[in-house]
A = this chain, B = another copy of it.
């Protein structure tokens, strides 16, 4: 599972870097951030992979046995939190960047979203470390407050700015927000698994699988949708660019729907 995440993040990152020229310069900043997010995640999953390998060995020859913990070694969950501390604010930045809103609106959104997202991660970590389910619950709850605030900003405040987006991407942007809500919602579920009576190693494995799948959706799939939005906006902004990038049939289709800015 960890190896699947490494492959997904690393090659999404490379794909996005190679794809930079497939969008107009004004959307390349958002694409770069998307590539960096996947790159940072790939790095941390290399560490997570190695940490797992150092912490556990199979107790049977041939590898079909159970994994047992190596004396003196432990799996370091800290890599995940460092990863999220860096990437979660960047995920919000890449969303705001691809919208290419007025500078003042961007700044105001980011000044609220980025501290809230860092707070959300920082408050989750003490709950992750503790074996006490009560503490886990309290920090989980505290961490939910900034999460709720982020959702409020994205789904209420941001909506006002969406009517300035080309018609062709409005639906995709809404879907992207929904993806963010759904995938970010997986993390608290994985986080809470140890509290749901699913105990011991099963809960631990379930948590790792949950985090891994959520990381692939929230970073790789999310980055690819950002790429798609940047492409659509590039075509809407510059029909000559669309004709160069697309086949004749495709370019016609992109040009046909009403693509004016504003209402």
A100–B63 touching, CB < 8 Å: no
Q: Verify B62–A102 contact, CB threshold 8 A.
A: no
Q: Which of B22, B40, B60, B244 touches A11 (beta carbons < 8 Å)?
A: B40
Asked whether A133 is an interface residue with its Cβ less than 8 Å from the other chain, the reply is no
Contact of A79 (CB < 8 Å), options: B3, B25, B79 = B3
Contact: B74 with A26, CB < 8 Å? no
What residues of chain B lie closer than 8 Å to A4, measured between beta carbons? Answer: 82, 85-86
Also in contact, A249 and B29, with CB within 8 A (given A7-B82, A59-B72, A74-B63): no
Q: Which residues of B contact A196 (CB under 8 A)?
A: none
| A32/B7 in contact, CB under 8 A | no
Docked CA distance A129–B101 (Å): 52
A223 beta carbon closer than 8 Å to chain B: no
**Does A140 touch B at the CB level, under 8 Å?**
no
Contacting residues, chain B, for A253 (C-beta < 8 A): 102-104
A101 to B252, CA, bound (A): 12
Q: Which of A3, A35, A85 has the most CB of B within 10 A?
A: A3
State how many angstroms separate the Cβ of A245 from the closest Cβ of chain B: 5
Complex interface bits, A231-259 against B, C-beta within 8 A gives 1, otherwise 0: 00000000000001111111001100000
Chain B CB within 8 A of A156 CB: no
Number of interface residues of A (CB under 8 A): 66
Shortest CB distance A35–B (Å): 7
B14→A39 contact, CB < 8 A = yes
A73 within 8 A of B: yes
Q: A1-43 toward B: CB 8 Å interface, digit per residue (1/0)? A: 0011011101100110111111011101100110110011001
User: Is there an interface contact between A7 and B59, defined as CB atoms closer than 8 Å?
Assistant: no
Question: Could you tell me the distance between the alpha carbons of A102 and B251 in the complex, rounded to whole angstroms?
Answer: 9
Q: Which residues of B contact A44 (CB under 8 A)?
A: 3, 7
A198 within 8 A of partner (CB): no
Per-residue contact bits, chain A 155-186, to B (CB 8 Å; 1 contact, 0 not): 00000000010000000000000000000000
- A57 on the interface (CB 8 Å rule)? yes
Residues of A within 8 A of B (CB): 3-4, 6-8, 10-11, 14-15, 17-22, 24-26, 28-29, 32-33, 35-36, 39-40, 43-44, 47, 55, 57-65, 69, 71-75, 79, 82-83, 85-86, 100-104, 164, 244-250, 253-254, 261
11 contacts between A and B (CB under 8 A): A3-B82, A7-B83, A25-B244, A55-B63, A62-B69, A65-B72, A100-B246, A100-B249, A101-B247, A104-B253, A248-B261
